[in-house]
Chains A and B, each alone.
Chain A
């Protein structure tokens, strides 16, 4: 074969494969979908899963998002604007994936939400609800999506560890010596108003509260733990990204700590060096703590209890530190500072917020003649809950949607049975 022909053959083969691309987008039902951000793999969405969600936070802007099958077929994706939101809804046969990218000057976040076909829901709901009831800390009005709750749950554990870790670092620096040198304060902590301190305190409070609940649920229900384990295994994609994040966080904490200590050491005297060595010892202890988080369930539950205590202690320390008025008001920012710019996805920062998210409230009126039954069906379809009725407006609570509220309302309004929708009463 001549080279010309060889090349022409190659070209037409490439074209053929591009052409057939559109028709090739069939996916095995149970296969996870691979998620790529800026052409780096960041995780998976469990295709057969129940409302699986993946949240990714990047230090860089998110330029592109791509979804691929395990075979490598590009299912969909988007190009994000440098600033602001970009959302996309992708249909894969009956299932839907919602992508939402938000770029700000601080970096980008991606939420990807897999929503299985409604028929799947009606089949799976019963067994899921049953299992969920046994597992989660009971708050009847928020018995929402089992899968998402689990995500929040596993991520909450880790976020607690990380917040504890970071806050700990701060308090160590502040309280290690009776009179911390001003250099340390300015180097590691921007001054913040006392209100900020209170906020951090509140957040830690909240974290401790969640922990208590998790701890209770775990400790009191040995039986539930076995099922929890199975459920976690099912959500292996989330589990995996959480677990690998442990490694990542560990590495980054180590590097960041060392770097900071180095910087501090350059500027200050023995006092700080003492802090440094103390920090290292503590770092090792914390590493050990993180490792045990990933061990078996038994140890997991013990660890939760331990963490809770740890956080109580932290809170006390924090209150003591109040006087110095030098705590960063925002734990998320502390988290973000764990990263160098240019280092990419930290998948945890968002999850803290995720775990504390309030249900999303909105009000709707329905088209004339809509039966109560179809209203209930519609609400169930969103995994939502009905609230009060006021002058014909029905209050609905759902898990916060992955898209901005305006856009969400827009979608709601597009539904057949909905006449009008709004957020405020």
Chain B
């Protein structure tokens, strides 16, 4: 036993000195992208904690903090988001001192008007699920297309019909669906920290109280969509039915339709039936949340 204990102590003190070494290395100038990668990749845990820490501080200062696991997860999630961007952009900033660069990048994020979509209800499993989908949709076309499935339960063919796409674009939709099923969904769940238990529980709620579940989902998805629509190309505002109609009949604004309709429940209602399903449709679509891809 004493031997084991000794070993533990040795490795622990080693970790401590490693950490100090890593930290001081980050404060020194790196002069090539490769050097940047090498130094930063060794320091990921420390940098993640640092970013989560300052996000936590930001939330505290803006009165949005609470001492619970949901808030801790939220801070970690955004910390890792910043870290990912730092990994990619930082290497173009050499020569630099990585630690200072990282701090300034995080500070810059926090000085934006609404750096992230914060709402207490979005921290609970259903909210986190929806927030995760919408946040991912902004940076991933696969996730964007998947929103149609998760919100309305549509198949690729239905998405193509509803948005009135042509041949070339249709092929892409099938691809988007496939990749989302294969890996995108799981990755998004992991990045949102949704556990198997939580996902199963969401499934249960959906089966037992379908209506309540969907109306709660609708309320929350509106909060998320309103926030994330700000990342649309900013010439994509909501349109009237006749404006949508024009776009559909004349066949332009393909991206506009795909993006905005996925992120706007209201416009989906407005534009309903303008796509190639126009003659065969029945009622306007209602939110029917799908948990699984």
Contacts and interface: CB of A to CB of B under 8 A. Distances in A.
Give chain A's interface secondary structure class. mixed
Interface of A: 1, 3, 6-7, 10-11, 13-15, 17-19, 21-22, 31, 34, 36, 39-43, 63-64, 66, 68-72, 74-79, 86, 88, 233, 236, 240-241, 243-248, 251-252, 291, 294-295, 343-345
Interface stretch (B70-78, B153-161, B206-214, B281-289): B70-78
Contacts of B254: 236, 240, 243
Q: Is the interface of B mostly helix, strand, loop or mixed?
A: helix
Contact of A22 (B41, B105, B168, B195): B41
Interface in B81-100: 83-85, 87-90, 92-93
B231 to A, nearest CB: 5
A295 B140 CA distance: 30
10 shortest interchain CB distances as A-B pairs: A72-B140, A248-B235, A294-B252, A70-B141, A14-B80, A10-B193, A243-B252, A78-B92, A72-B139, A3-B69
A39 B259 CA distance: 15
Contact of B176 (A7, A14, A70): A70
A15 B190 contact: no
B120 interface: no
B89 A18 contact: no
Contacts of A19: 41, 44
Contacts of B142: 70-72
B33 to A, nearest CB: 10
A40 B233 contact: yes
Contact of A17 (B176, B187, B246): B187
Contacts of A248: 233, 235
A41 B252 contact: no
B231 A14 contact: no
Contact of A68 (B37, B80, B140, B253): B140
Contacts of B231: 39-41
Given A19-B41, A291-B246, A295-B250, A10 B73 contact: yes
A77 B88 contact: yes
Interface string B238-262: 0000000011001111111001000
Contact of A15 (B48, B138, B166): B48
B36 to A, nearest CB: 12
B280 interface: no
A251 to B, nearest CB: 6
Contact of A66 (B88, B168, B193, B256): B88
A79 B253 contact: no
A247 B235 contact: yes
B24 interface: no
Contacts of A21: 84, 87
A78 B45 CA distance: 23
19 contacts: A7-B72, A14-B80, A15-B45, A22-B37, A22-B41, A36-B139, A40-B234, A64-B85, A68-B139, A68-B140, A72-B143, A78-B89, A88-B92, A240-B255, A244-B255, A246-B252, A247-B253, A248-B235, A291-B246
Contacts of A77: 85, 88-89, 92
A70 B138 CA distance: 10
Contacts of B179: 70-71
A355 B72 CA distance: 52
Contacts of A15: 44-45, 48, 80
B56 interface: no
Nearest to A252: B235
A252 B233 CA distance: 14
B93 A294 contact: no
Contacts of B250: 291, 294-295
Contacts of B235: 244-245, 247-248, 251-252
Contacts of A76: 88
A18 B88 contact: no
Nearest to B109: A39
B87 A17 contact: no
A14 B192 CA distance: 9
A71 B184 contact: yes
A248 B83 CA distance: 34
Interface string B114-131: 000000000000000000
Contacts of A233: 166, 168
B64 to A, nearest CB: 19
Nearest to B236: A244
B62 to A, nearest CB: 20
Contact of A42 (B73, B175, B233, B237): B233
A79 B259 CA distance: 26
A32 to B, nearest CB: 8
B28 interface: no
Contact of A11 (B76, B136, B172): B76
A258 to B, nearest CB: 15
Contacts of B103: none
Contacts of B234: 40, 343-345
A251 B255 CA distance: 17
Given A18-B84, A79-B89, A34 B45 contact: no
A88 B255 CA distance: 27
Given A14-B77, A243-B254, 9 more contacts: A17-B187, A70-B176, A72-B136, A72-B140, A74-B88, A79-B105, A236-B169, A240-B254, A291-B250
Nearest to A72: B140
Interface in B23-82: 37, 41, 44-45, 48, 69, 72-73, 76-77, 80
